Amino acid sequence: MKCRMCGFEFDENALENRGCVSCGKHDNCNQVHCPNCGFGNYPELEEEFEFIVKLKNKFKNRKKATN
């Protein structure tokens, strides 16, 4: 997983308690906390963000081709 805040890449499966040390939502927490900066990333949103990035790049490339 790549942290959306700092860009640090880490294996979310290797983290103990999903990297949650100071979060008060231990029972219902869907976040995986970055071991580098502590930002709470949502793994289920990763595919959605990848789609948005690909879509953005597609539009950017289309704009370059028309100029």
Whether 18 maps to a domain, the answer reads yes
Give the tens place of pLDDT for each residue, 13-46: 888 776 666 566 656 677 888 899 988 888 877 7
Query: What's the pLDDT score for residue 6?
Result: 94
pLDDT band at 62 (very low <50, low <70, confident <90, very high): confident
What is the total count of domains within the chain?
Answer: 1
Query: What's the pLDDT score for residue 43?
Result: 81
Whether 3 maps to a domain, the answer reads no
Compute how many other C-beta atoms are within 10 angstroms of the C-beta atom of residue 38.
15
pLDDT band at 65 (very low <50, low <70, confident <90, very high): confident
Whether 5 maps to a domain, the answer reads no
Task: Answer for the pair 19, 2: CB distance below 8 angstroms, yes or no.
Answer: no
Compute how many other C-beta atoms are within 10 angstroms of the C-beta atom of residue 1.
16
Task: Answer for the pair 35, 6: CB distance below 8 angstroms, yes or no.
Answer: no
Compute how many other C-beta atoms are within 10 angstroms of the C-beta atom of residue 34.
23
Whether 2 maps to a domain, the answer reads no
Enclosing domain of residue 31: 12-66
| Token pair of 43 as six digits | 């793994």
Whether 47 maps to a domain, the answer reads yes
pLDDT band at 7 (very low <50, low <70, confident <90, very high): very high
